[in-house]
Amino acid sequence: MRKRWFAAGLAAVAVATVAGLAFGPVRLSPVGVALELLHLHSGLTPREAAIVTELRLPRVVLALLVGATLALAGGCYQGVFRNPLADPYLLGVAAGAGLGATAVIAVKHNAGSLAVPPAAFGGALVAVALTYVLGATGTRYRTPATLILAGVAVTSFLTAGQTYLQQRDAGTIREVYSWLLGRLSTAGWHDVLLMLPYAAVSAAVILVHGRSLDVLAVGDEEATSLGANPQRTRVLLIVAASLGTAAAVAVSGLIGFVGIIVPHTVRLLVGTGYRAILPLSALFGGAFLALADLAARLVLAPAEVPIGVVTAFLGAPFFIVVLRTVRQGSV
């Protein structure tokens, strides 16, 4: 059954890729696009082929990469915190990465684009550390409610810092504002190459530890009795997920809810084993964001809706459903 879902995930990526390349202000034949990707005779004109390979392909590839990374990070956070509401956006990690990236943008005359991911990474680590500490203030236990409240508080604090930096340097307001809403409109191969090393390291660490997340799910005492080191594993996975989130935020801005929609949907389909949830989340997360980006391009064509608006429109109702489920399960 899981093999079928892996095949379905690959098919979803393929469909999202072809759709993202075929549809837009200039509509192309999906069959021709698929043949062009396979370097076969597609029947496309040189101009149409250039639209596919030079304009749309890097954007679709970046959407697949960002979506896969955010969904994988979301699944990882949910396993690490044993919290179905954990998400890079809700835990404040994205806001921390945003603050770090905004700080670099504000002083970009002294720092190039290569400095953005490390700065975002540092901000993400600070944010998740604050959320994790505040989530246990006054109690030994971190419940879904306390973690979410801590994430909201950390997000508000870091967003205030980000606003302060924008006000100090008015020249960054427009650039940062469009970035805050999430965008792939300026995507090029340089963005893909910038994010790829960070995403690859993050994904490799998380996927290798899928079995460890299954062990953590039974509790720290039981995991220790099975020979695991829960604290070390938890820290390693938090760092890896934060690295991927920071890289995604650095190139695409704040795109919320991907990390909560996709892993939950996958969990409903294949069960609770993280060795299946994590790779499937990456596949379906990439396809989801590529299709969301396509919707952002088509809804008000030729204008574009920020992709963060599309994911929030889908994710907010989904989050409410998940929250109600968690509350009912805790009664």
Q: What percent of the chain has pLDDT over 90?
A: 30
Q: What is the DSSP-derived secondary structure letter of residue 87?
A: -
Q: Span 289-301, mean pLDDT?
A: 90
Give, in degrees to the nearest 5, the angle at Cα 289 between 287 and 293.
115
pTM of the model: 0.87
Q: Highest mean pLDDT range out of 177-181, 219-223, 246-250? A: 246-250
> What's the confidence (pLDDT) of residue 251?
83
What are 106-133's pLDDT values in tens digits?
A: 776 444 556 777 887 888 888 888 887 8
What are 159-216's pLDDT values in tens digits?
A: 898 888 877 766 666 666 666 677 786 668 888 988 899 999 999 999 999 999 988 8
* End-to-end Cα distance, the chain: 33
DSSP string, 167-195: HH-GGGHHHHHHHHT---TT--HHHHHHH
SS3 131: helix
Query: Residue 141 pLDDT > 70, yes or no?
Result: no
Query: Residue 330 pLDDT > 60, yes or no?
Result: no
> What's the confidence (pLDDT) of residue 266?
93
Return the H-helix or E-strand segment holding 224: helix 220-225
With b meaning 16 or more CB within 10 Å and e meaning fewer, what string describes 225-261?
Answer: eeebebeebbebbbebbbbbbbbbbbbbbbbbbbbbb
- The encoded tokens of residue 66 equal 């960002």
Residue 265, judged by CB atoms within 10 A of its CB (0-12, 13-18, 19+), counts as: middle
Confidence of residue 291 (pLDDT cuts 50, 70, 90): very high
- Judged by average pLDDT, the poorest of 103-117, 119-133, 217-231, 306-320 is 103-117
> What's the confidence (pLDDT) of residue 272?
85
Residues in CB range of 307: below 8 A, 6 or more apart: 181, 182, 183, 184, 252, 255, 289, 292, 293, 296
> What's the confidence (pLDDT) of residue 331?
38
Residue 49, judged by CB atoms within 10 A of its CB (0-12, 13-18, 19+), counts as: middle
- Judged by average pLDDT, the poorest of 254-258, 287-291, 292-296, 325-329 is 325-329
